[in-house]
Structure 1
Amino acid sequence: MILLGSFVNGLAIVIGGLLGLIFTFIPEHIKDSILKVQALVIMSLGIQMVAGSTDVLTTLLSLIVGVVIGEVLALENQLNKMGHMIEYKMGNKNSGNISQGLVSGALVFIIGAMGIVGGLDAGLRGSHDVLFTKSIMDFFIALVMTATYGLGVVISGIPTFLYEAGISLGARGFASFIPEAVLNDMTAQVSATGGVILLAIGLNMLNVTKMRVGNMIPAIFVGMIMVWITSFFN
């Protein structure tokens, strides 16, 4: 089953998030401390991912072009509208800020090398080990995040599954004509670009900045396209 790893990851987020909704008795000051610690870990992961980059120029260009696309399309506003629509249709105002949880959760779970590497590994080799490992990590992250952000984190398990499933299916389709070396370069570039975005998420969680991180999402795919184009000149 090519989508097994993606399904398990999405399910882990949903289960972890639902458990987080149960543990709503956690005092606010503890939630705040947990959120800040989580932000620091996310930033540390982002720094580690960026530090491993060997092509800073491509990362910079990817982010600039991606942010421009995101700002023009107003992606963060669209994600917020989606969350508010879900919140309205559910008619539940006590489940937390769904839009904020959906955006934050989706970005935290989607961005990163493990999702890309795991999706590619599942699509190319049929191995789900990476995604299974990521599922364990995301389970605990979802449990903590839901205590702060609410039901939106649970819902973010759906786009996470779709994202990783898309990578797996795409990898199987493209593997026939994209060299393995180029795929490895794409993964490395996504890791570097995603690391910068994770840093932005962490800073927002600490209330240091108010960056529209949702508008940075296109940078991930811009980086992959740039690597693919430059491969023709190497």
Structure 2
Amino acid sequence: MILPVGTIVNAAAILAGGAIGLALGARLPARVRAIVFQGLGLCTLALGLKMAATFTAPLIVFFSILLGGVIGAAMNLEDWLASLGDRLKRLVRSKNETFTAGLISAFLLYCVGSMTILGAFDEGLRGDPTIYYTKALLDGFASIALASTYGVGVLFSAIPVFLYQYGLTLFAAQFQDLITPAVMNELTAVGGVLIMGIGINLLELKYIKLGDLLPSMVVVVILGSVFL
């Protein structure tokens, strides 16, 4: 059994950053919280653009997003994730109206980047949690900004983040040959597109059902493994 030290540190950083964000959010004027929210949206959009621009096989990226969206919409993933968030909200008796939105947005932001995959492979294959330590620092600061706006739901995102990253670490230890550098490149690009969607949602330009697009992360691995 692999002890997921990097994942534990990452989850702890999300909790710590979220707690700081909650403390700050209650003291910040509405206009300050609004500009923080917009700044986070712009930075998230820029990060997504940078990641999305790494693709070398555009058709694989495009078909992954389209097929993943069709699968996710057919499975009604967005509503299912929202219902889980609402159920957790009732369980902890939170009255925060943005609880579910904060949980889902934070989870997607923390988990669709290339560092998540690379960190899992490094810890699963070599027992080296260094990438996850770096990711923990970034996620901790992001949690401050997210929690100051969305509230306590951001802290609870640490639970699915832990489960997801630990699952990837165990997967990497068993199936290290599946994700080649070429597949990783297109996976990063698809993750970048999803992060761009988070930025668009944060800026309230148009609401995108990102939960329905999550299967694209699996589809790109399958297509990449077949055609690259």
- TM-score normalised by the shorter chain: which range applies? over 0.9
CA shift, 1:142, in A, is 0.5
2:215 is aligned with 1:205: no
Q: Which residue of 2 aligns with 1:219?
A: 216
Match of 1:58 among 57, 60, 67: 60
For normalisation by structure 1, the TM-score amounts to: 0.92
The Cα shift of 1:96 comes to 4.4
Report the number of matched residues.
226
| Identical positions, percent | 31
Runs of 4+ in 1 over 6 A off after TM superposition: none
Query: Unaligned stretches of 5+ in structure 2?
Result: none
Give the structure-2-normalised TM-score: 0.95
The amino acid across from 1:197 in the alignment is L
What are the equivalent positions in structure 2 for 1:10-25 lying under 5 Å apart?
10-23=11-24, 24-25=26-27
* SS class of match (1:53): coil
Q: Aligned-pair RMSD on alpha carbons?
A: 1.4
| Cα deviation 1:173-203 (Å, max 9, x = unaligned) | 012xx26xx4222321211001111111101
Question: Following TM superposition, by how much is the alpha carbon of 1:124 offset from its aligned partner in structure 2, in angstroms?
Answer: 1.6
Q: Is the 8 A contact 1:96 1:151 kept in 2?
A: no
Say which SS state the counterpart of residue 61 (structure 1) adopts: helix
Distance 2:94 2:166 in 1: 30
Which of 192, 195, 218 is the matching residue for 1:195?
A: 192
How many angstroms does 1:81 deviate by?
0.8
2:227 is matched with 230
- What is the SS of the residue equivalent to 1:25? coil
Deviation by residue 1:118-168 (Cα, 9 ceiling, x = unmatched): 111111221111110010010010011011111111011111111111111
Contact kept? 2:54, 2:186, Cα under 8 Å? no
AA paired with 1:148?
Answer: T
1:86 Cα deviation after fit:
1.4
Distance 1:156 1:92 in 2: 14
Q: Displacement, 1:226? A: 1.4
Correspondence 1:1-234 to 2 at 5 A: 2-23=3-24, 24-93=26-95, 95-175=96-176, 178=177, 182-230=179-227
